[in-house]
Amino acid sequence: MLDGVFTALADPTRRAVVRRLGGGPASVGDLAREAPMTLPSFMKHVRVLESNGLIRTAKTGRVRTCELNQERFALVEDWLAEQRSLWAGRTDRMERFVTQSKENQ
């Protein structure tokens, strides 16, 4: 689950779409105009984002609109918070070790 999210975000085009959708929903046509590729190629990126749960799409008439799936980003936020906590603990232990080593000299 998390691997798919990071794989989807590994591509700069898909990150640009996510960044743009952070400002609110947009049509696929509007998003595609900002990408230097054909619409069929761009649609592959949309499908990757959608299949990994990062965006939702809805079709009204001939217009397909994309929006961020905030719940999926919570998964990433939780993982990052866990990593921050882990690394903060490690740096705190390293700081104590260095401080104690200096005091014992």
Contacts of 89 (CB under 8 A, 6+ apart): none
pLDDT of residue 96: 67
The pLDDT tens digits of the residues spanning 56-93 come to: 999 999 999 999 998 888 888 888 888 887 777 667 66
Positions of E strands within the chain: 26-27, 55-60, 63-68
The pLDDT tens digits of the residues spanning 18-36 come to: 999 999 999 999 999 989 9
Place of tokens 């866990």: 82
Q: Which has the closest alpha carbon to 2: 57, 68, 66, 73?
A: 73
94 pLDDT band (50/70/90 cuts)?
Answer: low
Average pLDDT for 37-61:
95
Domains and CATH numbers, the chain: 2-103 (1.10.10.10)
Task: Return d(Cα 39, Cα 101) in angstroms, integer.
Answer: 61
Most distant CA atoms of the chain, gap in Å: 76
